[in-house]
Structure 1
């Protein structure tokens, strides 16, 4: 028994692999069901519905895709934000349960929406209180507690359908203050992320036919890097609407497993955007077929909230630190990186085009170029890659990582850039093949240095100021050997030197 602590991380890792390879469902992430689903007879009658402006989902998709193509960037608009002010004090229904606890419920509808995500402008639940969000088909997210607040706010993961129920259970003797909880935004989705309506341009199977699932032979040399990539929804500061981008969990030099997530500045560059993030992991198929259904992940493996650490527009990068540690059962990977500026012999990109399951793209040796989307450019900030030999990128791919191919010498498998945008797409003439377009990826070697810690990577990825410009990746559940001969699950981040910020952070 005294060696059990050494085996636990390995056991978690094996469990995580099993979850990825098996037909896991979103049940793996949920806690016990909300009271109204577990005890429908005791929960009382249904509550009245509060309507917010509805949408025409098909028209919104068409308009959004047209705007994405015109902009040249590859962030993907996914939902319209409808402002509301709904509180337990003014709205919904209260019921007192047999044990003296109290149940508050309210229902909101955005007619025509394919799915909903709810943002709480105030979120300060009392001790012991829980909150759930319930969508169509009794699909739910939760429970959430006061610990899930991000700067006093909370952004819930997506649920299917155009009606969502908020349910809060408050323990006997506790009070839910009038200003403690306020639903401030209903995100009316038009991408059908659950794929319930089998629309051809949304959800699973949404991306172009030339895209390549990570389970295909092209992805076989990159099992670790694939596990580092997730996609996220967030509320953009420029227009207040919801978007999808991709990003990569990255290591730092001391392998401290700080939850640093690298993406693009044109996706997010201010603190409020980072706070609104909901990141979805492991949304991928275990089959090569483009039409294969996802096996686990996505709504099962999600986390919310982040803190902005560094961002810069010219090289188009943003680094955030996620608000919580990913569950060890998710079996993620902290990707290695190379900021030397050395060009590899070829590249792969790993990303989520059009909100689809995870894809992989093969490109030639990259060349250097200016940014392909910025209105004012700085010379030589980006890698140019394309035309691709396999796969492509689309809206939703923005912020995803560019990796050196296997066999590229000392930088093989290392992240070297983040996607800004470009002209690459599936060919109209040959839909199963990529076109002759290109993409540009902001260089890590340029993002490494900057005027202050808030505009460069080196303070965060090399917090000990060792001078290193590269680091190998590390498994979330690897056992780290300590100096005293014992094993530990991870180095304690709080004991490591934090970056010394030399300028104001946004």
Structure 2
């Protein structure tokens, strides 16, 4: 699927002068990247990752059947209608934006009954119930839970029936960063799981009765695309074309290291699920705080930030390889919104979880770029592993009634691709440049055009300017 060209390089070059002036020349800061292995042990160990297991393995259900236990009965929604499927082939309002719409929320009937009527089974220290919801043909699924009451000691463990070893466990305290108030109710979104069925194991400790719980699922997010497997629901996004991509594993080792700061992430925004790209940034204290840079049109409110699930190291080990899916590490738990700006299409988050090993906290620079500066992009796009692009910074620009015009004080950096390209899913990825053997982030991908030819690529991209966003980001990145 090719998207309409929003602007052209020739038009941009004919308007205004070529000069580019630093916006904040009196406050130029450049921070080098930081490898996670170089963090002090106590800060590195705080990254995340406490493996969880189910208290009652689903494979043991048949053993309990003779004692009256039942295999969980999933609440099953009807398949998506023809009209709902057709929605996925319609062009978005701003097709040049590089976020990708992959999921839609569906209302769930509340047919579970009261908690004391659920099928409870005794386990060590208490009892558990397994509940499930299914949206047929979904490639990924997650649920919006309404939390009326979750007493201390109660635990929720989310899993997919095809992979019960991959478990995401929460208590009321660990859910707090993800709980938001909507229409007077406390809600949170579960982790996103592959497949069309979401299950939860609810553990109630001894001394707490099930009727002390108040919990239900209001919505399911039905994803028609799984960016980590390439699975696409028939009749939805099948016509999306792959542009002139370059696998990250085909870049130099120096650039591949920088890719360790880049993650794909999923969020729910006004009942639509999107995937975008973001960048883990270092700060002047080099203390390992998980500051994450992305686009405003991907995450623009605190509520959206709470729904974030990030996926790291989705990249091949070698050029031409195909092991990316075996390397993926994920971090659920959402994020905290620190600052966002629509004009510059820039958002800074603090992630609640990151992988415990292997990530890079990217370096950054708030200086203005000279015309002709060689640049690079590292990003996720469509259903491919991490991608790489090389290009040239053309000029700064802003939008006027006549379209994009050259403006040294404009809010966007305009890039022309020479090798590789960006496509849907790359929104929020970083603009990079290299200087004297060091590598710096200098912008956030906002939008662009697809290449109409791959010899050479003729796509262009607009990045929100890091130097103009810096006064907003400074309290965290340069405290």
TM-score (normalised: structure 2): 0.77
How far 1:66 sits from its partner (Å)?
4.3
Residue deviations 1:473-500, cap 9 Å, x none? xxxxxxxxxxxxxxxxxxxxxxxxxxxx
Equivalences for 1:233-272 in 2 at 5 Å? 233-237=266-270, 240-272=271-303
How far 1:71 sits from its partner (Å)?
2.7
Residue deviations 1:36-88, cap 9 Å, x none? 3353334532232212343269974x744642485311110111111336597
Specify the alignment match of 1:441 in structure 2: 463
Residue deviations 1:238-282, cap 9 Å, x none? xx2111111101111111221111101111211111111111111
Q: Is it true that 1:46 corresponds to 2:71 in the alignment?
A: yes
SS in 1 for 2:58: helix
Q: 1:112 to 1:315 in 2, by over 3 A?
A: same
How far 1:158 sits from its partner (Å)?
2.2
Specify the alignment match of 1:148 in structure 2: 174
Alignment check: 8 A CA contact 2:229 2:325 kept: no
Specify the alignment match of 1:461 in structure 2: 477
Alignment check: 8 A CA contact 2:243 2:421 kept: no
Q: 1:87 to 1:359 in 2, by over 3 A?
A: farther
Q: 1:98 to 1:224 in 2, by over 3 A?
A: closer
Q: 1:197 to 1:383 in 2, by over 3 A?
A: closer
Specify the alignment match of 1:222 in structure 2: 255
Tell me the distance in 1 between the aligned counterparts of 2:150 and 2:60: 22
Q: Is it true that 1:389 corresponds to 2:401 in the alignment?
A: no
Specify the alignment match of 1:103 in structure 2: 128
How far 1:34 sits from its partner (Å)?
5.1
Tell me the distance in 1 between the aligned counterparts of 2:82 and 2:310: 23
Specify the alignment match of 1:335 in structure 2: 362
Specify the alignment match of 1:55 in structure 2: 80
How far 1:127 sits from its partner (Å)?
3.9
SS in 2 for 1:141: strand
Equivalences for 1:346-385 in 2 at 5 Å? 346-370=374-398, 380-385=410-415
Unaligned runs of 5+ in 2: 1-35, 180-186
Alignment check: 8 A CA contact 1:212 1:391 kept: yes
Q: 1:70 to 1:254 in 2, by over 3 A?
A: closer
Tell me the distance in 2 between the aligned counterparts of 1:258 and 1:207: 37
Alignment check: 8 A CA contact 2:381 2:387 kept: yes
Q: Is it true that 1:417 corresponds to 2:454 in the alignment?
A: no
How far 1:124 sits from its partner (Å)?
5.9
How far 1:434 sits from its partner (Å)?
6.1
SS in 2 for 1:94: coil
Q: 1:275 to 1:45 in 2, by over 3 A?
A: same
Tell me the distance in 2 between the aligned counterparts of 1:114 and 1:268: 23
Specify the alignment match of 1:113 in structure 2: 138
Alignment check: 8 A CA contact 1:87 1:183 kept: no
Specify which of 88, 92, 97 is matched with residue 73 of structure 1: 97
TM-score (normalised: structure 1): 0.73
* Segment drifting more, 352-361 vs 206-215: 206-215
Residue deviations 1:199-220, cap 9 Å, x none? 89999xx97262112111x242
Q: 1:196 to 1:358 in 2, by over 3 A?
A: closer
Alignment check: 8 A CA contact 1:85 1:184 kept: yes
Q: 1:251 to 1:48 in 2, by over 3 A?
A: same
Specify the alignment match of 1:492 in structure 2: none
Alignment check: 8 A CA contact 1:101 1:172 kept: yes
Tell me the distance in 2 between the aligned counterparts of 1:57 and 1:194: 26
Specify the alignment match of 2:373 in structure 1: 345
Tell me the distance in 2 between the aligned counterparts of 1:249 and 1:372: 32
More strand by share: 2
Alignment check: 8 A CA contact 2:178 2:307 kept: no
Specify which of 188, 203, 228 is matched with residue 169 of structure 1: 203
Q: 1:33 to 1:399 in 2, by over 3 A?
A: same
Alignment check: 8 A CA contact 2:56 2:123 kept: no
Alignment: residue pair count: 419
Tell me the distance in 1 between the aligned counterparts of 2:322 and 2:123: 47
Specify the alignment match of 1:308 in structure 2: 337
Specify which of 261, 265, 273 is matched with residue 304 of structure 2: 273
Specify which of 404, 414, 422 is matched with residue 433 of structure 2: 404
Specify which of 57, 65, 68 is matched with residue 36 of structure 1: 57
* Segment drifting more, 100-109 vs 345-354: 100-109
Alignment check: 8 A CA contact 1:207 1:353 kept: no
Specify which of 286, 310, 323 is matched with residue 352 of structure 2: 323
Q: Is it true that 1:292 corresponds to 2:322 in the alignment?
A: yes
Q: 1:457 to 1:438 in 2, by over 3 A?
A: same
Unaligned runs of 5+ in 1: 1-7, 17-27, 450-455, 464-506
Q: Is it true that 1:232 corresponds to 2:262 in the alignment?
A: no
